[in-house]
Structure 1
Amino acid sequence: MTRFPNFRLGVLTLVALAAVMAWDATGGDLLLARMAGSAMGFPLRSNPFMVHVMHEGARDLSWVLVIGLFAAIRWPFAFLRRLGTPERAQLAVTVLASVIAVSILKNLSQTSCPWDLQEFGGVARYVSHWSWGVNDGGPGGCFPAGHASAAFAYVGGYFVLRRVSPRVAAIWLGVAVVAGLVLGVAQQLRGAHYMSHTLWTAWVCWTVGFAIELALTRRSPRVLAPAPEQAVPAHAGS
């Protein structure tokens, strides 16, 4: 683990990839979509709470946090004071890079959303997102789940925070994953995404953070190596 500190995380990343691919093979996307919608569409598509709080509100809050992270590069606050300037920069850039990566994939995708399918009142037919180059007759641009990236984009912060506190890093990762799943499920109930879209967003965001970590570790392995949990002085953060 000392010689290859990221080996286990690399294995975990590959196992997660296999799990996401296995989900695609189950056909569970349509099954879950049919539980939330019908030929009349998705009842919660225009629900005020789902639209204004779970969609717009969560998105706006995420951008406020992104701005806060970039501001913290110069003016750190709370536990971010325990990170050096390069680490704070990595944290902010990782979040933004994850959002951009998901956005690029969405713009290249020909996969339409569940609410665009004929069986839910739309015009598209179901085509797996693995069927590259095959148009489903809908507007496309729905894969992976962009909205879930409002939370999943933060999972890469785990790689930065584990250097100063494995406990804080684990909490940060857990909150980001749970929040991402909540946002993903909310969009699924609205008919905006399939479960696979949410799972792929989580994997993409994690992989972007991991790739940035590997690139920086190669340049400065001693400085960027994970550190064991250390006691925090009583005056720290005061």
Structure 2
Amino acid sequence: MPNERSNFYAWNLGLPIAIALAIFVVFDLTSLDEVISNWLYYPNHEFPFGHNRLFENLTHRWPRIIPDLTGEAAIIGSILSFIWPLLKPGRDDRLLTALERLRIAPLLRFTARHRRDFLFIVVSFAVITGMIHFFKSHTSIYCPVETTLYGGAMEKKEWFENFRMFHEAGPGRCWPGGHASGGFTMVALYFVARRYQWRHARAILYASMVLGAIYGTTRVLQGWHFMSHTFWAGVIVWISALLTALAFYGWRQLAPSTEATPSAFAAVAR
């Protein structure tokens, strides 16, 4: 048991912290962000897709449908989950029969059985969004195209130079990457998969990280973010989702057990 707990925290807390330290050393303490953006910006003095409407739609507006639909489905599932327990055999036989014929009953039973999971996704998305907005407003970092480095009027600063814990630091809203965080929020599904010990849980984690990285990189190509903004968004989202999952499930339901049986899985699902 202690080994399972150690492995769980090493992977889900230790790893993102290690990544955060690496980002801080490799990007925040160097000029690597500027090197990457300079390579994209020069020699034409504009970012390659900064004013491309099709690229904006393909990479920024339309991809939002993935986290948006996931969140909306979780909200609907959470609401539906309260319906089935209200229906009583004997009192609501006609309604129950109609729901079975319309094949709505299986959906209601499913949502009731997984109410905690739907609520977790809703709360996790809300917590993640709140954390991203907190850091954006309490660091007041400007986007590359807004800085004097790339034709703007604002000074480029690092987030740790401008961080304010108890009040907003200014009007800048570029750190961490908001669009990237939308892709990274899908990591919430990874913790649901861990709860049921689905063998593809880590595949969901990797897919979430790749999705967020793609979202963020497209904004780098447009000059709206430095590369480190994407990586920081991933770390903040991962840790926020982890803390929310621990609050909902506890580490024992999230850590894989070598002694788990199918009946144990069924017990968790109820």
TM-score when scaled to structure 2?
A: 0.72
Q: Distance in 2 between matches of 1:133 and 1:167?
A: 40
| Aligned 8 A contact 1:162 1:227 in 2 | no
User: Is 1:197 aligned with 2:229?
Assistant: yes
Q: Distance in 2 between matches of 1:116 and 1:199?
A: 20
Q: Distance in 1 between matches of 2:223 and 2:230?
A: 13
Counting only pairs closer than 5 Å after superposition, residues 1-238 of structure 1 correspond to structure 2 as 1-4=3-6, 6-8=8-10, 9-23=12-26, 24-38=28-42, 40-73=45-78, 74=80, 84-132=114-162, 140-218=172-250, 225-226=255-256
| Residue deviations 1:157-177 (CA, integer Å, cap 9, x gap) | 222211213423212111111
CA-CA distance at 1:51 after TM superposition: 1.0
CA-CA distance at 1:207 after TM superposition: 0.5
Structure that is richer in helix per residue: 2
| Aligned 8 A contact 2:123 2:244 in 1 | no
Q: Secondary structure at the match of 1:216?
A: helix
CA-CA distance at 1:109 after TM superposition: 2.6
| Residue deviations 1:127-164 (CA, integer Å, cap 9, x gap) | 22221269xxx952111100111111121322221121
Q: Distance in 2 between matches of 1:71 and 1:133?
A: 37
* Alignment gaps of 5+ in structure 2: 82-105, 165-169, 263-270
Q: Distance in 2 between matches of 1:165 and 1:29?
A: 38
For the pair shown, which has the larger CA radius of gyration, 1 or 2?
A: 2
Query: What is the aligned residue count?
Result: 224
| Aligned CA distance change for structure 1 residues 230 and 177 (closer, same or farther; 3 Å) | farther
| Aligned 8 A contact 2:37 2:226 in 1 | yes
CA-CA distance at 1:3 after TM superposition: 4.9
221-230 or 159-168, which moves further after superposition?
Answer: 221-230
Identity among equivalent pairs (%): 25
Q: Distance in 2 between matches of 1:133 and 1:15?
A: 21
TM-score when scaled to structure 1?
A: 0.81
Q: Distance in 1 between matches of 2:154 and 2:252?
A: 53
Cα RMSD of the aligned pairs, angstroms, is: 2.9
Q: Distance in 1 between matches of 2:119 and 2:257?
A: 19
| Aligned CA distance change for structure 1 residues 33 and 224 (closer, same or farther; 3 Å) | closer
